[in-house]
Structure formats: C-alpha cells, structure tokens
Amino acid sequence: MVPKNKISAKNLINSFRCAISGFWEVLIHEPSFRYMVVIAVFVLIAMFIFPTSRMEKVAVLTMIFAVLCLELINSVFERFLDFLQPEYDERVRIIKDAMSAIVLVVSLGAAIIGIIVFLPHFYNLFR
C-alpha cells in the first residue's frame, strides 16, 4: 500500500483503474444499476435531441448522477452486509430495504424532473 500523502501520476492512474474496475464490477453484476445506466443514456439522448435550457440540463444531469451514485452506494451496502452476515437476518433485510427506498425516492424525483423537462417536448412532437 502506498502512503496517502504521496501523490504521483502512477498513483493517480492506479486510483482511476481501481475506480473503473469497481464501476464495471457493479455494471456487470447488478441488474438494477444496468437498468439505471440504460435509462440515463436514453435521457441524455433526449436532452440533446430536444431543445433544453442550461438549467434543465443541469437539473437532468444532477438527477442522473444522483441516481447512479446512490445505486452504487446501495450495491456496496448490499455486498458489505452480505459479507458481514451471510445468513438471513431481519435487521440486514431492513437495512437493505431502507437503502433501496433511498434509491427509489431519488429515482421518483428524477422521473418527476424528467417529466417536467421532457413532457412539453413530447407533447409538441405528437401534436
């Protein structure tokens, strides 16, 4: 392990490699994260197809990254809890459900923002 106070290009590159490896691990093994990434790609495409203001873009991007980050955190918590307590434990179930609820609430907020931003464009498209 390299001391934390030593910053070098090699350490930085290694940190990025670890982060990318972790991202791919979650992307490959967590279906819910894959679904969120696919939805994010479609939303990003819509954001550039339809004329959206800078503030709308900021709101949409903020929500995309919030949902993806919370889904990553949720996946980490689930794996960590499974590691700590391999057998079924009601307390672990409650923690996992609460973590999923956090992702759900932010996802609902993201969906509402998406509807506010994109619904007028879809309405005009089919008018």
Q: What is the pTM of this model?
A: 0.86
| pLDDT tens profile 79-124 | 999 999 999 999 999 999 999 999 999 999 999 999 999 999 989 8
Map out the domains of the chain as residue ranges. 31-125
Q: Which fold has domain 31-125?
A: Helix Hairpins (1.10.287)
Q: For position 126, what pLDDT does the model report?
A: 87
C-alpha–C-alpha distance, residues 101 and 119, integer Å: 26
| pLDDT tens profile 33-76 | 999 999 999 999 999 999 999 999 999 999 999 999 999 999 99
- CA neighbor of 96 nearest in space, from 107, 108, 85: 85
Q: For position 36, what pLDDT does the model report?
A: 96
